[in-house]
Amino acid sequence: MTDFDVIVVGGGPGGSTTGVFLAKAGKKVLLLEKEQYPKDKTCGDAVSGKSVKILRELGLQKEMDQLEQIHIDGVTISSPNGTLLDVNIPKTGVQNNGYVCKRMVYDNFLFQNMKKQKNITVKEKFMVTGLLKEGDQVVGVKGKDLISGKEEQYTAKIVVGADSAHSIVAKELGLNEIDEKHYIVALRLYYEGVTDLTNKIEIHFVPELIPGYFWIFPTIEGNQKGECNVGVGMIVKDLKKKKVNLEKAMFKAIEENPLFKERFKNAKKVSPVKGWNLPLGSKVRKCAGNGFVLVGDAASLIDPFTGEGIGNAMTSGKLASEVIVKAFEKNDFSHSVLKEYQDQVEKILRPELMNSYKLQKVASNTFLLNWVTGKAKRNPKLADFIGGTLVNENTQEKIGGLKFFIKIFFS
Ligand SMILES: Cc1cc2nc3c(=O)[nH]c(=O)nc-3n(C[C@H](O)[C@H](O)[C@H](O)COP(=O)(O)OP(=O)(O)OC[C@H]3O[C@@H](n4cnc5c(N)ncnc54)[C@H](O)[C@@H]3O)c2cc1C
């Protein structure tokens, strides 16, 4: 007898989504979360079309529309030579465009929805510190109740590691290898009083930060106060090679770059600068084995070009839950059954992640960035095509693919 069918470690978008799908399938789930929700998460707060697709499947899109957020209608890109390009996201039949929604709000929305499910037990302020194993089969977790201070253990047929970039589940299984070529470090803070914000997210390839980028994401609809999420990210290997001080480079861009200087002149910081890591999906990580699966950042599934990870965290959570349900049907919780989840990740998520990796390489070339931006500025159809591939759920899979490059080079 086990205490639960499935234990999910971590209640972010990956864990909450896995938990909801499993609970809806009638599984008895324990979700363990070290923090208390609502809580902040260091992020750009851009919720892309891929997340919207899962929200729709969960019947949550209408409620999402009621939250404090902003509907995104395009992307503003600037190239290293300062060319500004506004691209619109093509409208498709359903509302696929993403949002910017503070993670304090978005994650809590997902978390509370998950908590409402019938078959779920949620323990907040519980820090998982290790795995329980029988031979090489994962059979549960141990950890500490951070309120009572008590050490506790729970058993289950399957443990889901949804515990982020520094996943204890991945670490215990020896799957947390960090490859600096496939790992980003990023900083974020919030501002008020930034001028000329629109409903577009802004991605700026400023020279100091290439091959990384500087972003400005408006955070609220009808933005009178100039509120936005501002940040920078860079691949760790490049950061070390170029000896970039990310924080200094970000403030230098804000204070000196002609594109931002005036816009930030009367702006004030309304949060501290916070940093966190992004494990990229251009590095394949084993994400299923005997009695366990990893989802989201714990499975290293962040888009190597855009830095987006919420959509893949939610999608991997859904894929994992489907395979877990099959494992219960077969009463087999070994790698031989759970590896179907890894197969699904490779089939459904990896091609796009590898295409984005190609785009990341293009974006590290200043000449190409200037050239593509200049070309798209002269050709609005090409600009809209790029915008669609960056943000829209239906065109995302084409990003960086052969057609994408042909269109860019020959339009
Ligand atoms: C600066 C920055 C900007 C980003 N911008 C964007 C963006 O704009 N759009 C986008 O889509 N993605 C962005 N990302 C990536 C995105 O934040 C992640 O990909 C996403 O949060 C992954 O979701 P997750 O559920 O896997 O992990 P998380 O959201 O990190 O959730 C993990 C959860 O596990 C809990 N946990 C961790 N360890 C334990 C433990 N031992 N015991 C119990 N609980 C535990 C944590 O408290 C947390 O609640 C950004 C990342 C960074 C760092």
| pLDDT tens column, 54-85 | 999 999 999 999 999 999 888 898 999 999 98
How far from chain centre, in Å, is Cα 286?
A: 19
Closest ligand 1 atom to residue 274 Cα is: 1
Atom 45 of ligand 1: nearest residue by CA position: 10
User: Could you tell me the distance, in angstroms and rounded to a whole number, from the CA of residue 380 to the centre of ligand 1?
Assistant: 35
Ligand 1 pocket residue status of 278, Cβ below 6 Å: yes
| pLDDT given for residue 95 in this prediction | 60
Task: Tell me yes or no: is domain 4-72+93-179+280-359 CATH 3.30.300.30.
Answer: no
- pLDDT per residue over 328-385, tens digit each? 999 999 999 999 999 999 999 999 999 889 888 888 888 777 877 887 888 877 777 7
User: Could you tell me the distance, in angstroms and rounded to a whole number, from the CA of residue 360 to the centre of ligand 1?
Assistant: 21
User: What is the rounded average pLDDT of the residues 193-213?
Assistant: 91
Extents of the domains making up the chain:
4-72+93-179+280-359, 180-278+364-410
Ligand 1 pocket residue status of 87, Cβ below 6 Å: no
Is the Cβ–Cβ distance between 357 and 305 less than 8 Å?
yes
Residue 395: pLDDT band (50, 70, 90) is: very low
Number of H helices, E strands in the chain: 13, 19
Ligand 1 pocket residue status of 168, Cβ below 6 Å: yes
User: Could you tell me the distance, in angstroms and rounded to a whole number, from the CA of residue 372 to the centre of ligand 1?
Assistant: 32
Is the Cβ–Cβ distance between 201 and 230 less than 8 Å?
no
* SS3 category, 391: helix
For the domain spanning 180-278+364-410, the CATH number is 3.30.9
Q: Concatenated DSSP letters for 77-120?
A: EE-TT--EEEEEPPP-SS----EE--HHHHHHHHHHHHHTSTTE
Ligand 1 pocket residue status of 352, Cβ below 6 Å: no
Residue 388: pLDDT band (50, 70, 90) is: low
CA distance 214 to 8: 34
Atom 13 of ligand 1: nearest residue by CA position: 308
How far from chain centre, in Å, is Cα 177?
A: 19
Ligand 1 pocket residue status of 162, Cβ below 6 Å: yes
User: What is the rounded average pLDDT of the residues 204-227?
Assistant: 90
- pLDDT per residue over 114-151, tens digit each? 999 999 999 999 999 999 999 999 999 999 999 999 99
Beta strands in 246-379 (DSSP E): 268-269, 274-279, 288-289, 292-294
User: Could you tell me the distance, in angstroms and rounded to a whole number, from the CA of residue 126 to the centre of ligand 1?
Assistant: 17
User: Could you tell me the distance, in angstroms and rounded to a whole number, from the CA of residue 316 to the centre of ligand 1?
Assistant: 13
| pLDDT given for residue 380 in this prediction | 76
**How are the residues of the chain apportioned to helix, strand and coil, as percentages rounded to the nearest 5?**
40, 25, 35
- pLDDT per residue over 81-111, tens digit each? 999 988 877 665 556 678 999 999 999 999 9
User: Could you tell me the distance, in angstroms and rounded to a whole number, from the CA of residue 66 to the centre of ligand 1?
Assistant: 23
* SS3 category, 283: coil
| pLDDT given for residue 405 in this prediction | 56
| pLDDT given for residue 397 in this prediction | 46
Is the Cβ–Cβ distance between 3 and 140 less than 8 Å?
yes
Ligand 1 pocket test target in 310, 315, 349, 390 with most atoms within 8 Å of CB: 310
| pLDDT given for residue 149 in this prediction | 98
Ligand 1 pocket residue status of 208, Cβ below 6 Å: no
User: What is the rounded average pLDDT of the residues 148-155?
Assistant: 98
Cβ atoms within 10 Å, residue 135: 7
Q: Is the pTM value of this prediction over 0.85?
A: yes
Q: What is the end-to-end Cα distance of the chain in Å, rounded?
A: 63
Atom 21 of ligand 1: nearest residue by CA position: 310
Going by C-beta distance under 8 Å and a sequence separation of 6 or more, which residues neighbour residue 384?
87, 88, 89, 90
Ligand 1 pocket residue status of 127, Cβ below 6 Å: yes
Q: Cis omega (within 30 of 0) on the bond before 211?
A: yes
| pLDDT given for residue 94 in this prediction | 54
Evaluate if residue 396 carries a pLDDT over 50. Answer: no
How far from chain centre, in Å, is Cα 246?
A: 20
User: Could you tell me the distance, in angstroms and rounded to a whole number, from the CA of residue 259 to the centre of ligand 1?
Assistant: 30
User: Could you tell me the distance, in angstroms and rounded to a whole number, from the CA of residue 370 to the centre of ligand 1?
Assistant: 32
Closest ligand 1 atom to residue 107 Cα is: 29
Evaluate if residue 408 carries a pLDDT over 60. Answer: no
Closest ligand 1 atom to residue 37 Cα is: 49
User: Could you tell me the distance, in angstroms and rounded to a whole number, from the CA of residue 301 to the centre of ligand 1?
Assistant: 11
Atom 50 of ligand 1: nearest residue by CA position: 43
Give strand pairing partners of 134: 137
Atom 30 of ligand 1: nearest residue by CA position: 164
Ligand 1 pocket residue status of 172, Cβ below 6 Å: no
CA distance 106 to 119: 22
Q: What is the CA radius of gyration of the chain?
A: 21
